[in-house]
Amino acid sequence: MELEEEKEAQIDRLPMDLLAHIFVFITCFKDLAQTSGVCRKWREGVKQSMGRREKLSFADWKMDDDSTSRIVRYAYSLKELDISKSRWGCQITDNGLYQLSTAKCIINLSSISLWGMTGITDKGVVQLISRANSLQYLNIGGTFITDESLFAIATSCPNLKTAVLWGCRHVTENGLVFLVNNCHKLETINVWGMRVPIDSFTTLLTIRPALQILPQSLLNIGTISLLPVF
């Protein structure tokens, strides 16, 4: 009993800065929640550790609008955010994207993945993207976005290098052309499964000859590959 009390006392003596540094290495949100519930000091340590993280992934976690935005608001140093659809089903809606857009870190994000989030529309995407001015990588595949989202991306994300539009069947050639015309740093675009004419990709290469269009089979044999490339 005395040994346990001594261990607890030693942990309590750790400076908050060191405690927060240790908690950064906890990647499981369930473990973070349990850690946060130990005591007031540990709760503050978890909160401060979130402010040091540069990457956050909610993939394979059942998250909703409020819990996701609450965590992201603490992540002041965040550079990469992955809120792809989980195996439990997408719980994020346009309201969640609106809440996320108010987080301080959004303007500094270099990577965002919204893969498979069928609960979002152009309204939420436009709101989020309008503040993501540092974005270099965007995966918005498997969603129901239209050209409206691509217009917003092209306008707000001048540093975009990679765009994954896998399976975005409501996007047209007009949206693609606008995106490639305005994102001058765009290097790679994934268009697997989109309902646009094959000739459209020739148009994109006319605009930017060095653009890499995935999958390569679209350009090599004029057909769509059976395997997506992420």
Domain boundaries in the chain? Answer: 1-52, 54-220
Architecture (CATH level 2) of domain 54-220: Alpha-Beta Horseshoe (3.80)
**Residue 151 has what pLDDT?**
98
Angle (deg, nearest 10), helices 40-50 and 65-74? 80
DSSP-assigned letter for residue 157? -
Say if residue 158 is preceded by a cis peptide, omega within 30 of 0: no
Report the percent of the chain where pLDDT is more than 90: 54
Architecture (CATH level 2) of domain 1-52: Up-down Bundle (1.20)
Band of pLDDT at residue 74, cut at 50, 70 and 90: confident
**Residue 44 has what pLDDT?**
75
**pLDDT tens digits, one per residue of 77-133:** 999 999 887 654 557 899 999 999 999 999 999 999 999 999 999 999 999 999 999
